[in-house]
Homo-oligomer: A and B are copies of this chain.
Amino acid sequence: MSVLCFGEIMLRLSPPDGLRFTQAHHFEAVYGGSEANVAVSLAQLGLKTVFVSRVPDNDLGRAALGAVAFFGVDTRHCVTGGERLGIYFLEAGAGRRSSKVLYDRHNSGMATLQPKQINWSTTLEQVQWLHWSGITPALSADAAAATLEALQMARERGITVSCDLNYREKLWQYSSPADIMPQLIELTDVVLGDATVFHRYFAIEAATRQQLLQLVAERFPRLQYIAMTSREGISASHNTYCGILYDRTNTYTSRTYELPDMLDRIGGGDAFMAGLIFGLQTMSAQPQEVVEFAVAAAALKHYVRGDFNLCSESEVRALMAGHSGGRVNR
C-alpha cells in the first residue's frame, strides 16, 4: 500500500553560488513542486510512494519525472500533455538579502489538466493515502475540477486524504480560493495551514491559535488533524522553525530548532508535511512524537540543496535525539 501525491512539478532554475539573477551565466536546474517534494521525502523515509502529475511530452517533462523516479518514487501513472513545463526562477538570498522567486508557470501541462485525463481507477489501486495541496486548484478551473475528481474517487475507496493548504496569492486569478477550497477540504482528513490561509480560504479568524484550530475543526468535521508550522527569519541564512499538531482534543508543540548556515530553505514545509504523513502512518498514537519527527525532518531539509528532502528516517531520529550535526559519521 502506498502514498500518492498529486500536483505540479516544475523546472527550478537558480543562479549558482549566491549570484543575483542579472549576474547568472548559468542556472542550476533541479525539478520540484510541493507534492513531488512530499513524495520524494516519503520515499527516503521508506514508504512506497506514487507521484501523479501531467507534464508536456518533451524532454523537460521526461526529466522532471526522471528526477522523481531517481529517488524511488513510482511515476508510471503520470500523463503527458500541455504546451510547456512550468518554470520557477529562484535567487537564493544570503544574510540581509532576501531570497527571490520569479514564477513562470502559466499554461503548463498541469495548469491545463482536465478531469478524466488521469485514470484514477487504476491509479488508486494499492493506495491508502492521497496528498494534494492548495496550489493545484489555484492553477485553473479545470485543475480544480480535476482535483475534486481525485478527492471524490479517493473518498469512495476509503483513502485517507491530506492537504497542504499552501496559499499562493498570485496564482488565484480565475476565482477566489474561498469559492473553491472549502468543498475540497470537506473531502480531506489532515491539513497543514496557518492563520493567513485559514482566513483567505475559509474566512476564519481567531484571537488565539487554540481558538483558530477549534474553529477550523468545527467548520470541517471530517478533519482528524490540523497542523501548523512557525518560522522566524533572523536572516536569509538563519531561521528558527517549530511545528504544532492538533488532534481535535489536544495541541502538541514541537521543540524549536535553530537553523544557522542554511543551504536551501525551499521545500521546508513539504519536508514537514512528509514527516507528518510518515508519523501519522507509523506512530499515529503518539502525536507529540509525530510533530517532533515532522519538524526535525523539516529542519534537516534546510541543509539539502534542491526542493527535495533527501534524509533518511535514521537521520531524522538522530536530530530528534539531540545530535547537533557537529559529528562526522564515518
Report which A residues bind B (CB closer than 8 A). 13, 16-30, 58-60, 62-63, 66-67, 69-72, 83-84, 87, 89, 91, 93-104, 106-107, 168, 170, 232-239, 257, 259-263, 265-266, 299-300, 302-306, 310-311, 315, 318-319, 323-330
Contacts and interface: CB of A to CB of B under 8 A. Distances in A.
Contacts of A99: 328-329
A310 B96 contact: no
B261 A95 contact: yes
A64 B55 CA distance: 25
Given A17-B305, A95-B325, A22 B59 contact: yes
Nearest to A30: B25
A144 B198 CA distance: 47
Nearest to A100: B329
A237 B261 contact: yes
A305 B62 CA distance: 18
A20 B304 contact: yes
A219 B233 CA distance: 47
Contact of A326 (B72, B106, B233): B233
Contacts of A234: 324, 326
A17 B323 CA distance: 23
Nearest to A169: B330
A315 B93 CA distance: 12
Given A71-B66, A72-B69, A98 B16 contact: no
Copies in the complex: 6
Given A29-B25, A60-B89, A303-B18, A325 B97 contact: yes
Contact of A101 (B91, B103, B106, B329): B329
A98 B323 contact: yes
B27 A95 contact: no
A142 B191 CA distance: 46
Contacts of A67: 70
A235 B326 contact: yes
A100 B23 CA distance: 24
A128 B234 CA distance: 41
A95 B328 contact: no
Contact of A13 (B21, B27, B237, B318): B27
Closest 5 CB pairs of A and B: A233-B326, A21-B59, A97-B303, A66-B70, A236-B325
Contact of A60 (B21, B260, B261, B302): B21
A11 to B, nearest CB: 9
Given A59-B102, A235-B326, 14 more contacts: A16-B26, A22-B59, A25-B29, A60-B102, A66-B71, A93-B328, A95-B263, A95-B303, A96-B259, A98-B325, A101-B330, A235-B261, A235-B324, A238-B260
A29 B15 CA distance: 10
Contacts of A60: 21, 89, 102
Contact of A69 (B70, B299, B328): B70
A191 to B, nearest CB: 21
